[in-house]
A and B are shown apart, each in its own frame.
Chain A
Amino acid sequence: MGEIKARGVSLTFQTADGPVHALKDVSLTIGKGDFVSFIGPSGCGKTTFLRTIAALETPTAGQIRVNGMGADEARRARAYGYVFQAPGLYPWRTISGNISLPLEIMGFSKAERRERIARVLDLVELSGFGGKYPWQLSGGMQQRASIARALAFDADILLMDEPFGALDEIVRDRLNEALLELWRKTRKTIGFVTHSIPEAVYLSTRIVVMSPRPGRISRIIESTLPRERPLEIRDTPEFIRVAHEVREGLREGQSYD
Chain B
Amino acid sequence: MSRALPVLTVLSVIVLVWYGAAIGLNAPWARDQAARAGEALSPRQLVERTMTQERPVLPAPHQVAKGLWDGITGQKITSKRSLVWHGWITLSATLAGFAIGSLAGILLAVGIVHSRVVDLSVMPWAVASQTVPILAIAPMVIVVFASAGVTGLLPKAMISAWLSFFPVLVGMVKGLRMPDAMQMDLMRSWNASRAQVFWRLRLPSAMPYLFASLKVAVAAALVGTIVGELPAGATAGLGARLLSGSYYGQTIQIWAALFAAAALAAGLVAIIAGIERATLRRMGLAR
Contacts and interface: CB of A to CB of B under 8 A. Distances in A.
A77 B200 CA distance: 21
**Residue with the highest number of chain A CB atoms closer than 10 Å, among B186, B188, B189, B285:** B189
Interface residues of A, number: 25
Contacts of A104: 200
Interface string A85-104: 01010111110000001101
A84 B190 contact: no
A92 B178 CA distance: 14
Contact of B188 (A56, A94, A101, A133): A56
A101 B200 contact: yes
Nearest to A54: B189
A56 B185 contact: yes
A93 B201 CA distance: 11
Contacts of B200: 101, 104-105
A135 B283 CA distance: 13
A106 interface: yes
A75 B191 contact: yes
B62 to A, nearest CB: 49
B205 to A, nearest CB: 8
Interface string B152-189: 00000000000000000000000000000011011111
B190 A88 contact: no
A91 B190 contact: no
A66 B164 CA distance: 51
Contacts of A51: 185
B139 interface: no
Interface in A48-103: 51, 54, 56, 75-76, 78, 80-82, 84, 86, 88, 90-94, 101-102
A81 B201 CA distance: 18
Interface in B254-287: 283-285, 287
A80 B189 contact: yes
Given A92-B284, A133-B284, A86 B190 contact: no
Interface residues of B, number: 19
Given A92-B204, A94-B284, A133-B284, A102 B190 contact: yes
A106 B185 contact: no
A56 B287 contact: no
B153 to A, nearest CB: 37
B190 A93 contact: no
B285 A105 contact: no
A93 B284 contact: yes
B14 interface: no
A106 B189 CA distance: 11
A132 to B, nearest CB: 10
Contacts of A135: 287
Contacts of A78: 190-191
Nearest to A87: B182
Contacts of B186: 82, 84, 88
A82 B189 contact: yes
Nearest to B285: A92
B89 to A, nearest CB: 39
Contact of A105 (B182, B185, B196, B204): B196
Nearest to B204: A92
Given A75-B191, A105-B190, A84 B182 contact: yes
Interface in B173-231: 182-183, 185-192, 196, 200-201, 204, 207
Contact of A86 (B182, B188, B287): B182
7 contacts: A56-B189, A75-B188, A75-B189, A80-B189, A82-B186, A94-B284, A105-B192
Given A78-B191, A82-B185, A91-B285, 11 more contacts: A56-B189, A78-B190, A80-B189, A82-B186, A84-B186, A90-B201, A92-B284, A102-B190, A105-B200, A106-B190, A106-B191
3 tightest A-B contacts by CB? A92-B283, A82-B189, A102-B190
